[in-house]
Amino acid sequence: MPECVFCAIAAGEAAATRVLETARTVAFRDINPQAPSHVLVIPKAHHRDVAALAEVDGGLLAEVLAQAHAVAQADGIARTGYRVVFNTGNHAGQTVPHVHAHVLGGKRMGWPPWPPA
Ligand code: 5GP
Ligand code: ZN
């Protein structure tokens, strides 16, 4: 099994509740949801964070963002609104070093976003 937990989920070697999948991305429910709808969208390829992904494959980053909106539509939160968050590095509280978009919605959210209300 790969050492990276999100690589393992992408490969189907670790369990996750999948919402959507494309050739190059997977969306699955966060194990510790911070909102009624909380889904993570990842590229199947391993990149450390959104900055690293933007540098080497902007097209794949665009696919991740398109999937974030597709997830919002599938979960019925596209019209009411949702938040897309890429925690990046230590001060942002990034705990999994495989780039992931948090898609959060289903309730009115406060500001600042983290820690979530
Ligand atoms: P970060 O803090 O890095 O931005 O977000 C990592 C997110 O991944 C957290 O919200 C955490 O709950 C979630 N997470 C960590 N490990 C797993 C896992 O094995 N499965 C799922 N579905 N979510 C995970
Ligand atoms: Zn990985």
Structure confidence by residue, pLDDT tens digits, 40-51: 999 999 999 999
Does domain 5-105 correspond to CATH entry 3.30.428.10?
A: yes
Confidence at residue 111, expressed as pLDDT on a 0 to 100 scale: 82
- 3 Cα–ligand 2 center, Å: 8
Confidence at residue 114, expressed as pLDDT on a 0 to 100 scale: 61
Does residue 58 have a pLDDT over 70?
yes
Closest C-alpha to ligand 1, atom 8 = 30
Does residue 39 have a pLDDT over 60?
yes
The pLDDT > 90 percentage for the chain reads 91
Does residue 69 have a pLDDT over 80?
yes
Q: Where are the domains of the chain?
A: 5-105
Closest C-alpha to ligand 1, atom 18 = 31
Q: What average pLDDT does the segment 20-25 reach? A: 98
Q: Is 92 in the pocket of ligand 1 (CB under 6 A)?
A: no
Beta-carbon contacts of 29 under 8 Å, excluding residues fewer than 6 positions away, are 16, 17, 19, 38, 39, 40
